Amino acid sequence: MALAEAALSDILSLQQDGTRPAQVAVIGPTQVGKSTSVNLLLGLDAATVSPLAGFTRHPQGFGLDIDSDEPTWLNDFFPGRTRTTQELLNKDELNCYTYTTIDSAQDNTLGTPCAVWDTPDFDSLSAEHYRQGVLETCAHADLIVLVLSKEKYSDLAVWETLKLITLLQRPLLICLNKITADSVDLITRSLRQRLTQIGTDISDTEIITLPFSNEIGKQKTLEAEVTLLRDKIHEHIHHLDRTQRIQGVKRLLETYWPSWIAPVQQEHHARAQWSQDIDTVAAQAMTIYRRDYLDHPQRYDTFKRAIVELLSLLELPVLAKPMIRVRHILTWPARKLSSARDNLRSNKTRDTGGEEQILSEIVMHAYITLLRDSNRRCEKFAAANTFWQALSRQLDDRQDPLQEQFTAAIQRHHEDFEPEVHAAAKQLYARLQEKPALLNTLRATRVTTDAAAILIAIKSGGLGINDLLFAPAMLALTSSLTEGALGSYMNKVARDLKQRQYDAAEQQVFDLCLKPQLHAVADELRAPGLFNITADELVTAEKALTALNHE
């Protein structure tokens, strides 16, 4: 992908500044004599030669017969790299390059203005850290000179690199360096066979040999061969045609696009699976909520609270204030006890009551289920391990703050639904007002049950006051309602209230809190190995590739 990025950058750079001189990239595996070959082409010792493998780690350019020391075409030549000098190069600072302007030392050098680039190797153990410099240089090259030796010409890394760069369809020369006379024919034939296997478009690549010599650095011992190599380079530069450069980039992109986007698609699949997991667990949670609360005869208390509200609406106007006063006095011991208990609790251990407590448990069960499943998927989906591992860590790290948000959402839901409880009570009361006889009977029952509750509470010494105060009244009232003409209507109000509560919990707790927060956990993942390329961005890139192929 680094080669494709550099090739696209090269096309944009040429469109902005077409004054760039010819670029010659000298590449090859370690210890084949790349720097020595550069010096032979230039006719002077410009590139530093070393017997150490991996000595050259940066692209190093030499502008031959180019007027300016600060050419404008260099501005965007190596995006992300800093230009420096050979003396200041540091082997550990790899995002650098050098460029030096030199004059021809002799009349028999390349004979045309151009830039010759000495490049790092691409096959050593350390090359993985600086191989990108080789690819970037090849992407800008108008001619690639591949330097090989008897020991290195058959290495796998050579042919893998050659398969890659030939997709750019740039002119290529092969320089066989340090070759003994008795092995020239054999190695040349072997090279031809391998080139044919790669593709017919490079099967006729010119191969020039530089015989082995103890005086390899001295031009006079290789004058004929070096002259031939220079002439071939000069010929390619003379016939330089950049108009078809885009075709090579298209070919490179078409060849590697499926493999490049495969891990991105796997990450998208993992994100889609995560979204599906959230929806599945949320649906399961709502099923549990209905079973363990809404449809549970002992736990479901919402309609009971509506009946309690109805009790207060049935108060006789003349008795309402005295009865409220008596109830306030009788419930004082219980209220004091409750207040003392609350003071002993910390703020985090709030007594949430029926629905809130059950919803809290359901939500945390859903969260733990998702955390467990994400850990399991780390083993099941090896291709998307990076995503699932990062997600598991993030879920584990954010459990406490997410739980606080879930708890706040549950409390808001419970408080926001209270008006619905009051509305149900008023709805029942309004229907009762249409039946005066029944309303008067219920009011009489209300007074009787309150008086009985007061007497029981007094005799019991105030123990269980809340239960004693309301249970008889609720029992009498609900019996009268269900046995009377309002039975079917009350059942309808109860069903509607239960459905509204289900819908409210689903929306406020799950749709507006749990789901968005869990989706955000995946959206905010930042970890080595994650692409974080959205599906829309990938579609846009594929459309751009399609448009490029039709140009």
pLDDT given for residue 518 in this prediction: 96
Residue in the structure block whose two tokens are 């799950």? 510
Cα pseudo-dihedral 416, 417, 419, 421, rounded to 10 = -160
Top-confidence residue, 194 or 379: 194
- Coil, strand or helix at 25: strand
The answer to whether residue 546 is domain-embedded is no
The answer to whether residue 191 is domain-embedded is yes
The answer for 462, left when phi > 0, alpha when psi is -120 to 50, beta otherwise, is: left
The answer to whether residue 250 is domain-embedded is no
Top-confidence residue, 135 or 128: 135
pLDDT tens figures, 1-13: 788 889 988 888 8
The answer to whether residue 551 is domain-embedded is no
CATH number at residue 88: 3.40.50.300
In DSSP terms, which residues pair with 176 in a beta bridge?
A: 148, 209
Lowest mean pLDDT among 84-88, 139-143, 181-185, 383-387: 383-387
**Do residues 89 and 219 both lie within one domain?**
yes
Distance (Å, rounded) from C-alpha 236 to C-alpha 42?
16
**Tokens for 59?**
């692209």
Last residue of a domain, one of 182, 213, 243: 243
3-state secondary structure 233-285: HHHHHHCCCCCCHHHHHHHHHHHHHHHHHHHHHHHHHHHHHHHHHHHHHHHHH
pLDDT tens figures, 276-319: 999 999 999 999 999 999 999 888 888 888 877 777 787 655 44
Question: Is residue 201 packed enough to be buried (19+ CB in 10 Å), middle (13-18) or exposed (0-12)?
Answer: exposed
**Do residues 278 and 400 both lie within one domain?**
yes
With beta carbons less than 8 A apart as the criterion, state whether 45 and 138 touch. no
- Coil, strand or helix at 459: helix
pLDDT given for residue 451 in this prediction: 47
| Rounded mean pLDDT, 344-359 | 61
**Do residues 206 and 326 both lie within one domain?**
no
- Coil, strand or helix at 296: coil
pLDDT tens figures, 78-128: 988 999 998 888 888 889 999 999 876 555 578 788 999 999 999 988 888
Distance (Å, rounded) from C-alpha 111 to C-alpha 148?
24
Name the DSSP class of 292.
Answer: I
Name the DSSP class of 112.
Answer: S
pLDDT given for residue 311 in this prediction: 73
Percent of the chain clearing pLDDT 70 (strictly above): 81
Last residue of a domain, one of 243, 278, 310: 243
The answer to whether residue 503 is domain-embedded is yes
Percent of the chain clearing pLDDT 90 (strictly above): 43
**Do residues 235 and 284 both lie within one domain?**
no
pLDDT given for residue 201 in this prediction: 75
Name the DSSP class of 510.
Answer: I
**Do residues 130 and 269 both lie within one domain?**
no
**Do residues 187 and 322 both lie within one domain?**
no
Task: 43-50: list long-range contacts, CB under 8 Å, 24+ apart.
Answer: 43/104, 43/105, 43/106, 43/108, 43/109, 43/219, 44/102, 44/105, 45/217, 46/100, 46/102, 47/118, 48/86, 49/217
Provide the domain limits for residue 420.
259-336+356-541
Chain centre distance of CA 141: 34
Total number of domains constituting the chain: 2
The answer to whether residue 304 is domain-embedded is yes
**Tokens for 441?**
């009977």
The answer to whether residue 550 is domain-embedded is no
Q: Which residues, at least 6 apart from 541, have a Cβ–Cβ distance to it below 8 Å?
A: none
**Do residues 382 and 330 both lie within one domain?**
yes
Lowest mean pLDDT among 128-142, 234-248, 354-368, 374-388: 374-388
**Do residues 33 and 143 both lie within one domain?**
yes
Distance (Å, rounded) from C-alpha 358 to C-alpha 367?
14
Q: Edge to edge, what strands does the sheet with 82-84 contain? A: 82-84, 96-102, 60-64, 114-118, 22-27, 143-149, 172-179, 206-211
Distance (Å, rounded) from C-alpha 323 to C-alpha 319?
6
**Do residues 228 and 297 both lie within one domain?**
no
**Do residues 407 and 534 both lie within one domain?**
yes
Run of H or E including 111: none
Chain centre distance of CA 71: 40
Residue in the structure block whose two tokens are 């019996």? 479
Q: Which residues, at least 6 apart from 236, have a Cβ–Cβ distance to it below 8 Å?
A: 142, 143, 171, 173
Name the DSSP class of 95.
Answer: S
pLDDT tens figures, 151-209: 888 899 999 999 999 999 999 999 999 888 888 899 999 998 988 888 767 888 999 99
**Do residues 386 and 510 both lie within one domain?**
yes
**Do residues 306 and 169 both lie within one domain?**
no
0.85 exceeded by pTM: no
The answer to whether residue 548 is domain-embedded is no
Quick one: which of 57, 58, 54 has its CA closest to 125?
54
Give 47-65 as a DSSP string: SPP-SSTT---S-EEEEET
Last residue of a domain, one of 209, 243, 277: 243
